[in-house]
Structure 1
Amino acid sequence: MGRFPETGKAPDDVPRRVLIRRRFTRNRLAVFGALILCGFVLVSVFSEFLSPSTPYVYDAARTHAPPQRLHFVDTSDGFDLGMYVYDHRVERDEETYANTYEVDESTKVPVGLFVQGREYEMWGLIPMDRHLIGAKDLDTEVYFLGADRNGRDMASRIIHGTRVSMSIGLAGVALSFVLGVVLGGVSGYFGGRTDDYIQRLIEFLMSIPTIPLWMGLSAAVPSDWGAIQTYFAITVILSLIGWTDLARVVRGRFLSLRQEDFVTAARLDGCGTGRVIGRHMLPSFTSHIIASLTLAVPFMILAETSLSFLGLGLQQPVVSWGVLLQEAQNIHSIAHAPWVLLPGVAVTVAVLVLNFVGDGIRDAADPYK
């Protein structure tokens, strides 16, 4: 029988986690998605440092300023190696008061790495003023992805929005995991009336249209709550909606496992209900649960984006992808500043890579593949 070169063991002797890792790494799309997902996580953790500026700095004279292209070599006057962007000439229409921009190639704005810029607090704890990239002049702003209607840097706002939107997805899935595993496990393990009651509750929640349910629960959040309170409230709301699918999956697996010989042996050995479930039944399909959770994160991100876009979720001054997309409700803004739709591109990419990773984990963990 052949042996794996990585371990030197026969296939029957290789731990399951090694087999799962091998299968996962063979899926190039899943590996690519995992790398992009790691990038999103790093952006979420170090958003203050990675952003060129802070998300709340505005310049009324730069309303809907277009993106500035980053240059690396200047050959107009000799050979000058270094990063820079061209400034814009701003003209205001006297009738519509709209700004029009033209690239001013006579004015260069030097750009550097690890530059001193706007002060911020890393993770709300450590005072810092260094940014990965930005204008070398402290009083100058650069707009790599353009500006919004208030003259705020879109790149900085999208980067900061990554933390909120991704963390809501992960936190919401964590709460949904607890509800889904507990209620689904109880329903499948005990059966009878307990199963009937829990299944009727699940069917009731799944029968309610999603948008009206979101609107009703969001309307219950007091309008005078602060940003942090609203953040946790939205997370709880999404968790209360998103646990039903996982509960159904866990129930089905428990129904099929509770009559297995190893479960019966554990009961006869004197194991209590909690030990039978936690030590014997759940580990038998942990990989499937992980795959289900990975695929549930995109739902949470889309739900938060939809709620915030409709004005029912997070609101200013909180910065999330959904909050940023509120500006895309204005057709005038989209027509004259299409870069306001860039948060939607971030949502799309995040949802795609999470689905790629979830599909890869599910295929890798399939014991019959």
Structure 2
Amino acid sequence: MSDDKSKSVLTGNTLTSDAVDTARTETFAADSNTPLTVDETSGAEAAAAAARMKANLPEGTQTGSPLPAEGAGALPHFVSTAPFDLQSVEQLTPEQEKIYFASQLTLMWWKFRQHRVAVWSGVFLLVLYSTIFISEFLSPWNYQTRHSKHIYVPPQGVHLFHDGEFIGPFVYDLKRKLNLETMTREYTVDESKPLKLSFFCSGDKYNWFGLIPADNHLVCAPKGAPFYLLGTDRLGRDMLSRILQGARISLTIGLIGITVSFFLGIVIGGAAGYYGSWVDMIVQRVIEVLQSIPTIPLWLTLSAIMPASWSPILIYFGITIILGLLDWTGLARAVRSKLLSLREEDYVLAAQLIGAKAPRIIGRHLVPGFMSHLIASATITIPTMILGETALSFLGLGLREPITSWGVLLNEAQSINVVAVFPWLMLPVVPVIFVIIAFNFLGDGLRDAADPYK
């Protein structure tokens, strides 16, 4: 081919229509060893030259291969002759390295710390649950001690100064008189007689957790002196001591109940979601029947089954099991819906191929995939069970005397007349409200911290 024709083929860095028409095939056909004609070969060379010019490659480079043509020389490149230095490689910053090597629990804790309200709620609940181990020590009186001379005493105040002189924490004595018009006891403060309080002292005897006898208290009043920070009830029992003692029952009943509920929800819901078919159908019908029954009447029916001759401990565990048996349906449906989607994942198939059984696949591979939802459900279910025990005891069908709980204490506040005259009997509802709010905030923080997408 002449030089004029070659020049007419290339125009700048692009191919002209003449080059496209000429370069019809490769230098050799894919299915034949027949060489191309002169015109076709020249057109192919022109196309290759145009491609090299467009890619800024030196002459002799084969455009269809990353390697240069034989005798064309090396591609433009740079090789450092300096010795290799490990420090010259781009490295992670200390902060990036800390995050890279952190465990999943550590990452959750870092995320949880950013939720300030959840952190303070967790601290509040931790302190509250810690007090149940030393509630007898923190109580100024034994929760069963009756003070017949101080019935329905209103809350007292603690003072530090008497007649302008600092004498330390003390309370004033009380004078009692009978109001003949209302036929109620009235108490007046005798400010002429301060009664100094003592700390880390010996007072009412008690059995720590019903096992170890002791009489140590954080604060005590002089013998026979009135000291009722939150008042007394109809039998003269100190409300503060009863609230502290009742926290042990009301707080632990939620933990034990959630254990029963979670076990049933994960096992039954996991079986329904993993196996599907008739297992799923039966489980869903049972859940629908249980959820169609009103909660309060069902609680009342099951509570009435428990014999009145049962000891307080048996009644306590009976109420706990009842609350756990009736609260697993929501969790079971949540577990079932998640497992229906997760069971189709590749890692589940891999576990099945190596011979893993269904319980191991559910517990090891599937349940951890939505642990954030389980954590949120736990923190929401615990206050629900606390409310359930409080409601049953308030209605007289849960825990009963001599055992005490927040619901048992509120049982005395059923009458509006009693509440109107003695409003401090409603004080046990305050810790119930704070505990429920704290659990809700804690659940929000834990759910966000355990979310793998955040």
TM range (shorter): over 0.9
Q: Would the alpha carbon gap of residues 32 and 3 (structure 1) be closer, same or farther in structure 2, given more than 3 Å must change?
A: farther
One-letter amino acid of the counterpart of residue 38, structure 1:
L
Residue matched to 1:50: 138
Q: Distance in 1 between matches of 2:211 and 2:392?
A: 30
Deviation at 1:25, TM superposition (A): 0.8
CA contact (8 A) 1:67 1:146 kept: yes
User: Could you list the runs of 5+ residues in structure 2 that have no partner in the other structure?
Assistant: 1-90
Work out whether 1:142 is the aligned partner of 2:227.
yes
**Relative to 1, partners in 2 of residues 1:289 and 1:214: Cα closer, same or farther, differing over 3 Å?**
same
Letter in 2 for 1:350: V
5 Å matches for 1:209-224? 209-224=294-309
Matches within 5 A, 1:116-155: 116-135=202-221, 137-155=222-240
Provide Cα deviations, 1:69-121, integer angstroms capped at 9, x if missing partner.
Answer: 112x22416332x1111122111124543111112111222212211110111
2:406 to 295, 304, 321: 321
**Range 25-34 or range 329-338, more displaced:** 329-338
1:78 paired residue among 156, 161, 165: 165
- How many residue pairs align between the two structures? 364
The correspondence for 1:283, drawn from 350, 368, 372, is: 368
Q: Which residue of 1 aligns with 2:81?
A: none
- 1:155-234 correspondence to structure 2 within 5 Å: 155-234=240-319
Q: Distance in 2 between matches of 1:221 and 1:143?
A: 36
- Residue deviations 1:239-275, cap 9 Å, x none? 1111111111111111111111111101111111222
Which stretch of structure 1 is more off in the superposition, 108-117 or 337-346? 108-117
- State yes or no: 1:23 paired with 2:111: yes
- Following the alignment from structure 1 to structure 2, what is the Cα–Cα distance between the partners of residues 109 and 176? 50
Q: Which residue of 2 aligns with 1:292?
A: 377
CA contact (8 A) 2:162 2:194 kept: no
Q: Match for residue 342 of structure 1?
A: 427
**Do 1:238 and 1:303's aligned partners in 2 also have CA atoms closer than 8 Å?**
yes
3-state SS of paired residue (1:157): helix
Among 253, 259, 269, the residue aligned to 2:354: 269
User: For each residue in 1:334-357, what CA deviation from the matched residue of structure 2 results, as whole angstroms up to 9, or x when unmatched?
Assistant: 112111111111110111111111
Give me the CA root mean square deviation. Answer: 1.6
Q: Map Cα deviations across residues 178-218 of structure 1 (whole Å, 9 max, x no partner).
A: 11111011111111111111111111111111111111111
Work out whether 1:69 is the aligned partner of 2:154: no
Residue in structure 1 matching 2:436, options 327, 335, 351: 351
**Does residue 108 in structure 1 map to residue 213 in structure 2?**
no
Give the alignment's TM-score, normalised by structure 1.
Answer: 0.94
Structure 1 residues 118-138: Cα deviation after superposition (integer angstroms, max 9, x where no partner): 011111121110111221x24
Higher helix proportion:
1
How does the TM-score come out when normalised to structure 2? 0.77
User: Cα–Cα, structure 1 residues 221 and 269, in superposed 2: closer, same or farther, change >3 Å?
Assistant: same
Matched residue of 1:131: which SS? strand
- Segments of 5+ residues of structure 1 without an aligned counterpart are none
Q: Answer yes or no: is the 8 Å Cα contact 1:29–1:356 preserved in 2.
A: yes
| Aligned partner of residue 311 in structure 1, secondary structure | coil
> What displacement does 1:10 show?
5.6
How far off is 1:13 after superposition?
4.1
Contact 2:135 2:244 in 1 (8 A): yes
Aligned-residue offset at 1:4: 6.9
Counterparts in 2 of 1:190 and 1:127: CA distance versus 1, 3 Å: same
Measured in 2, the distance between the counterparts of 1:158 and 1:66 equals: 15
- Aligned: 1:89 with 2:184: no
Aligned to 2:285, the other structure's residue is in SS state helix
Decide which moves more: 326-335 or 345-354: 326-335
Pairing 1:36–2:124 present: yes
Distance 1:174 1:366 in 2: 22
Q: Distance in 2 between matches of 1:3 and 1:102?
A: 70
Aligned residues of 1:53 and 1:141 also touching (Cα < 8 A):
no
Q: Which amino acid aligns with 1:76?
A: D
In the TM superposition, residue 14 of structure 1 has moved relative to its aligned partner by 3.0
CA separation of 1:106/1:351 partners in 2, compared to 1, >3 Å: closer, same or farther?
A: same
| Partner SS, residue 428 of structure 2 | helix
Task: Determine the C-alpha separation between the residues in 2 that align with 1:262 and 1:138.
Answer: 70
How far apart are residue 44 of structure 1 and its match?
A: 1.4
> Is the aligned partner of 1:312 residue 2:401?
no
